[in-house]
Amino acid sequence: MVRTHVGVAYIPGFGLHPLQGNLNGHWSIEVNGNWRVTFVFEGHDVDIVDYQDYH
Protein backbone atom coordinates (compact mmCIF):
# COMPACT_ATOMS: atom_id res chain seq x y z
CA MET A 1 0.00 0.00 0.00
CA VAL A 2 1.21 3.50 -0.79
CA ARG A 3 1.34 5.44 2.47
CA THR A 4 3.50 8.46 1.64
CA HIS A 5 5.26 9.81 -1.43
CA VAL A 6 8.57 9.61 0.46
CA GLY A 7 8.27 5.83 0.77
CA VAL A 8 7.46 5.36 -2.90
CA ALA A 9 10.17 7.73 -4.12
CA TYR A 10 12.92 5.29 -3.20
CA ILE A 11 11.51 2.32 -5.13
CA PRO A 12 13.48 2.08 -8.41
CA GLY A 13 11.50 2.04 -11.63
CA PHE A 14 8.36 3.85 -10.46
CA GLY A 15 9.36 7.22 -11.94
CA LEU A 16 7.40 9.03 -9.23
CA HIS A 17 7.33 12.77 -9.83
CA PRO A 18 5.14 15.79 -9.08
CA LEU A 19 3.19 17.30 -11.97
CA GLN A 20 3.02 20.96 -12.91
CA GLY A 21 0.69 23.33 -14.73
CA ASN A 22 -3.02 22.46 -14.60
CA LEU A 23 -2.15 19.26 -12.68
CA ASN A 24 -0.07 21.05 -10.03
CA GLY A 25 -0.41 19.15 -6.74
CA HIS A 26 -0.85 15.81 -8.52
CA TRP A 27 1.78 13.08 -8.66
CA SER A 28 2.52 10.61 -11.43
CA ILE A 29 3.93 7.08 -11.64
CA GLU A 30 5.06 5.74 -15.02
CA VAL A 31 3.27 2.60 -16.22
CA ASN A 32 4.17 1.81 -19.84
CA GLY A 33 4.81 3.88 -22.95
CA ASN A 34 2.61 6.99 -22.78
CA TRP A 35 0.52 5.65 -19.88
CA ARG A 36 0.77 6.87 -16.29
CA VAL A 37 -1.19 6.72 -13.04
CA THR A 38 -1.85 10.15 -11.55
CA PHE A 39 -3.06 10.88 -8.04
CA VAL A 40 -3.19 13.37 -5.18
CA PHE A 41 -1.96 12.78 -1.64
CA GLU A 42 -4.52 13.56 1.07
CA GLY A 43 -2.43 13.33 4.23
CA HIS A 44 -0.98 9.81 4.17
CA ASP A 45 -3.62 8.50 1.77
CA VAL A 46 -3.93 8.62 -2.01
CA ASP A 47 -7.03 10.17 -3.57
CA ILE A 48 -8.24 11.04 -7.09
CA VAL A 49 -6.50 8.18 -8.89
CA ASP A 50 -6.56 8.25 -12.71
CA TYR A 51 -4.96 6.18 -15.51
CA GLN A 52 -4.00 8.49 -18.39
CA ASP A 53 -2.39 8.48 -21.82
CA TYR A 54 -0.54 11.79 -21.57
CA HIS A 55 0.15 12.24 -25.32
What is the pLDDT confidence band of residue 1, given thresholds at 50, 70 and 90? very low
Q: Quick check: pTM over 0.75?
A: no
What pLDDT is stored for residue 42 in this prediction?
84
Show me where the domains of the chain are located.
Answer: 5-53
Quick: pLDDT tens for 7-32: 666 677 888 888 999 999 999 999 98
What pLDDT is stored for residue 51 in this prediction?
93
d(CA 19, CA 26): 6
What proportions of the chain, in percent to the nearest 5, are helix, strand and coil? 15, 45, 40
Please provide the CATH number assigned to the domain covering 5-53.
3.30.2310.20
